[in-house]
Amino acid sequence: MSDFVVEVSNVSKSFPLEAGFFAGGNRRVYAVNDVSFGIRRGSTYGIVGESGCGKTTTARMIVGLHRPDAGTISYKPDSSSDGVDVSSLGRRKLRLFREKVKYIFQDPAHSLNPRLSVGDIITDSYRYSSVYPGRRAAGDEARDVLSEVGLSPEDADRHPSEFSGGQRQRISIARGLIMKPDVLVCDEIVSALDVSVQGQILNLLQDIKESRGLSLLFIAHDLRVSCYFCDTIGVMYCGFLVEEAPAADLYRTALHPYSRMLFGGAGNSFGAKAGEARSITGVVSGCPFAHRCPHSSSVCLSELPPWKYDGNHKVRCHLL
Ligand SMILES: Nc1ncnc2c1ncn2[C@@H]1O[C@H](COP(=O)(O)OP(=O)(O)OP(=O)(O)O)[C@@H](O)[C@H]1O
Ligand code: SF4
Ligand SMILES: [Mg+2]
C-alpha cells in the first residue's frame, strides 16, 4: 500500500469571477478540477504548469487556506495512523495541522514584514504555536535555523531589506522550519531568482529534506527545473492534472502534448500554438488543451480524455 503523507482525492475549487468585462451573473472560474495525487512520505512531488493553471489554489487547499468545493485532502502524520480529512478540522486542530504542513510563500519580498528583525519574523507565528518553547529558547532556535539555511546567527538582528532575493527566500524557509514541520509546501520559491541562486536554494532544500526527513510539495512553472528536483511530477493545465509520472520518466518521455510543449520552450518543435492558458469559466466538455493542441480532433472538443496508464506514468489524452 502506498504511504502518502498527504493525499488529494478528486478535489475541485471554483471562485466567483472577479469584477471586469467577463464578470456578471453567477459566472465562476473553475480553478481546480477533479485533481488527485499523493505526496509520498520522504519524497518530493512537483506540480508544474503555466500561470493561472491552479497550482497555488491546490497548495492553499492542502494547507487548509481554501476549502475544496468537492473531494478530500487527507493528512497522515505517520504510516501507522489513519488519515485526517483537512476540511473537517476545527479551528484549533487546523492550527496544529498548519504547524506540521508549512506553506512557504511565492513572494518573500511581500511576505516578510520589513519593520521586524529577521529573528522576530522567524519567531512571530512560532509564538502562537503549540510548540513554542519560550522567548529565550525561541531566539536560540531562530539563530540555529538561520545557520541551517546558510545564513549567519547574527542575521537575526538585521532587517529583510538588507538581504538579497535568495537570502530572503532562505529566511522564509527558516520561518517554516522553526515549527519542525513534516511537510513543506514550496510555492514558486525559486521562480523569481537567477539560475545560479535557484540551484543554491534547491540544493539547500534537498539537504534539509534529507536531514529532517521532510516530504515536499514543489510548485513551479519550469518543467526542467522540476524534473531535476522532484521525484514525481504532475503537470496541470487549466485546473486539470493532465499527466503524472516519475520525474526521470517524464524527462525522457513526456507523453501529453502540453508537457512536450513545456519542455520545448517558446520555440517548441512540437507545434503547440503559442498563447496563454485560459481560465475555465464554464463546464468543460472536451480536452482543456484542445484550443492550443496541434493534434486536436473532433473527439478532443467533445470528450474529456480519460486517464491512460503505463505503470505509474499516467496521461490524459485521446491521442494515446
Ligand atoms: N481568490 C480568488 N478569487 C477569484 N479567482 C481566483 C482566486 N484565486 C485564484 N483565482 C483564479 O483561479 C485560477 C487559478 O489561480 P492560481 O493562483 O491557483 O494559479 P497558479 O497556477 O498558482 O498561477 P501563478 O503561476 O500565476 O501563480 C486563476 O484563473 C485565478 O485568477
Ligand atoms: S486530447 Fe486531443 S486536444 Fe487534448 S492533448 Fe490530446 S490530442 Fe491534444
Ligand atoms: Mg501561484
Residues flanking ligand 2, CB < 6 Å: 257, 287, 289-290, 293, 295-296, 300, 305, 317-319
User: How far is the centre of ligand 1, averaged over its atoms, from the C-alpha of 32 (Å)?
Assistant: 9
Measured from the CA of 294, which atom of ligand 2 is nearest? 8
The residue-averaged pLDDT of 111-131 equals 92
Q: What is the pLDDT of residues 292-315, one digit of tens each?
A: 999 999 999 999 999 999 999 999
CATH number at 4-315: 3.40.50.300
Q: Are 55 and 47 in contact (CB under 8 A)?
A: yes
31 touches ligand 1 (CB under 6 Å): yes
Residue 270 clears pLDDT 60, i.e. is over it:
no
Does 233 or 194 have the greater pLDDT score? 233
Q: Which ligand is nearest to the CA of 236?
A: 1
Q: Strands, E, within 27-166: which ranges?
A: 28-40, 44-48, 70-75, 84-85, 101-104
What is the pLDDT, as a whole number, of residue 24? 57
Residue 107 clears pLDDT 80, i.e. is over it:
no
Domain boundaries, the chain: 4-315
User: How far is the centre of ligand 2, averaged over its atoms, from the C-alpha of 286 (Å)?
Assistant: 9
Q: Which ligand is nearest to the CA of 15?
A: 1
Residue 278 clears pLDDT 80, i.e. is over it:
no
Cα 276 to its chain centre, rounded Å, is 20
Question: Distance of CA 63 to CAs 34, 95, 142, 184, 228, Å?
Answer: 18, 10, 23, 10, 25
| Among 194, 270, 183, CA closest to 225 | 194
Number of residues assigned to the chain? 320
Residue 142 clears pLDDT 60, i.e. is over it:
yes
What is the pLDDT, as a whole number, of residue 192? 84
244: number of Cβ within 10 Å: 25
Q: What is the pLDDT of residues 12-33, one digit of tens each?
A: 999 988 655 555 567 789 999 9
The residue-averaged pLDDT of 167-180 equals 95
What is the pLDDT, as a whole number, of residue 275? 57
At residue 85, the 3 state secondary structure works out as strand
Query: To the nearest whole number, what is the mean pLDDT of the chain?
Result: 90
pLDDT band at 43 (very low <50, low <70, confident <90, very high): very high
User: How far is the centre of ligand 3, averaged over its atoms, from the C-alpha of 49 (Å)?
Assistant: 10
User: How far is the centre of ligand 3, averaged over its atoms, from the C-alpha of 47 (Å)?
Assistant: 11
What is the pLDDT, as a whole number, of residue 211? 97
Residues with Cβ within 8 Å of residue 85, at least 6 apart in sequence: 72, 73, 74
Residue to probe by mutation, ligand 1, list 15, 67, 217, most atoms within 8 Å of CB? 15
User: How far is the centre of ligand 2, averaged over its atoms, from the C-alpha of 304 (Å)?
Assistant: 9
Measured from the CA of 295, which atom of ligand 2 is nearest? 7
